[in-house]
Structures are given as C-alpha cells and as structure tokens.
Amino acid sequence: MRKPFIAGNWKMNTNQRGALALASGLKDRLAGVDTVDVAVCPPFVYLAAVGAALSSSNIALGAQNLYHERNGAFTGEISGDMLKDVGCSYVILGHSERRHILGETDDLINKKVRAAIDGGLLPIFCVGELLEEREAGRTHDVVSEQVKNGLEGIDAERALAVTVAYEPVWAIGTGKTATAEQAQEVHAMIRALLGELFGADVAQQMRIQYGGSAKPNNTAELMANPDVDGLLVGGASLKVEDFAAMVQTVA
C-alpha cells in the first residue's frame, strides 16, 4: 500500500553541465517507470534548469534545505515559496550534514518541517544516530528524540506529507551500509513511534526511506524489508547508471 520512493541527494556536487546531463540521462532511462516515486535534489542554483530538463518526465524535483520564513531580511537563505516557484515538490530537511556540520538543531528543523508542509512541499525528514551513539546502545533513544522533536506540533493529517529518512550517520558516504536487519529494526521502531504520535492508520501510510551508502548491489536486500519503503541516495545518485539501476530494481 505504500508506493516505494527513491530520492537522489546530489549534495554540493555537479556543475550546470553535469546536472543537466544527469537529469536528461535519468529522464531517458526511467521513462515509463510508474510503480516507484522518484525525485532528484540538486543544489539550489541548478533547480530551475534541472526542473526544465525533467519537464514531462516522471521524476520530481526536490531541494536540499529551506529557511522557514516566507521572505524578508534573511541574507543567503531560500524559502519554501521560492522552491515551489521553481517547481520543487520535495525538500530534504534535517540531513545529518546539516545537523552535524552546519549545526542545525531539532528546534530549527521542526520549524523548517512545519514551514515546508504549510507551504505545500513534501519534506524528506532525516534522522539517524552517530557511530558512538550506536555503540553506546543509544540508537533508539537518539532517533526517537529526533523524530518526536522534529515532528512536534504537526497533526496527523499534515504528517501524511512527510517521508522520514533513517540515515545512520556512520553509514553516510562511508561505504558502510547498515545491514538489512539493522535498517528494518530501526524502521520498525520509527513506525511504532509514528503510530503513537499520529495513530496506526497514518503510520501505516507514511513512507520511511533508508539512506547511507545505498547502492545498486544492496538495493534489493534493503528494500525487501517490510518497513523500508524507499531509499535516500547520495553518492550513487550522481551516476545515471547506478541510480537508474536502483530505481529499476525496485520497480
């Protein structure tokens, strides 16, 4: 009942030419795929061009961040309205690189998630533990806190707009994927928590992606888990062949 959802997070990669080549390559390779929702999230400055290259394709456009105010004196920031204006449907929020490199807090991420939903965007809301937190047996506590704080003040109806992405920080960009078992275990915990927050019916409808060194060769195994509804893909989303292969595996 949950349609799989694969999103590519291009992070601070590509240039204009490369971004367009990636977009048009994916458009060709994925034409006709309709059993999987697919999105790509390029850097802000390439959103409009990539959106144009993807027009009349089945690939949606997403951004990697937003600022929660609608407009005003916030030098260097980008609002949800601006993202909608250039054709974005999705926005990644709370990514571990924003939490740990740029210092974003649960409170700020919560403001952003609410602003995204209110502005008609679909947040891909990321959570995940650090290696030392996993080793200290604190994975459930850390991830639960992030989910509760990040989704605070959101009612069940609005929660349906959210995709949660579980991304263990130790697996991001390291080549160390969580095992299918480790992913399923945390996904099931997150779904149970979403059930407490929003009711079992809503929790059953919400998609939970896995992210962290997801690649063509581990896609099938990860996606075979009952609570893994999709993937948030970094490195492998920068290669047409790899990302297309992952979508096709799921399709």
CB of 194 to ligand PGA, least distance (A): 20
Which residue, 202 or 213, has its beta carbon nearer to ligand PGA?
213
Which residue, 183 or 236, has its beta carbon nearer to ligand PGA?
236
| Torsion angle of the four alpha carbons 140, 159, 102, 231, in this order, in degrees rounded to the nearest 10 | 70
In whole angstroms, give the CA distance from residue 158 to residue 168: 25
Residue type (1 letter), 194: L
Which residue, 173 or 199, has its beta carbon nearer to ligand PGA?
173
Nearest to 237 by CA among 12, 22, 3: 22
CB of 153 to ligand PGA, least distance (A): 25
In whole angstroms, give the CA distance from residue 193 to residue 206: 12
Residue type (1 letter), 161: A
In whole angstroms, give the CA distance from residue 99 to residue 85: 26
Q: Is 181 a catalytic residue?
A: no
DSSP 8-state class, residue 238: G
User: Which residues of this protein are in contact with ligand PGA, per CB under 6 A?
Assistant: 9, 167, 172-173, 211-214, 232-236
Which residue, 73 or 101, has its beta carbon nearer to ligand PGA?
101
Q: Is 167 a catalytic residue?
A: yes
Helix, strand, coil % over all residues of the chain, rounded to 5: 50, 15, 35
Residue of this chain nearest to ligand PGA (CB atom) = 234
CB of 51 to ligand PGA, least distance (A): 20
* Catalytic residue selected from 68, 95, 129, 187: 95
* Catalytic residue selected from 97, 104, 129, 167: 167
Active site residues: 95, 167
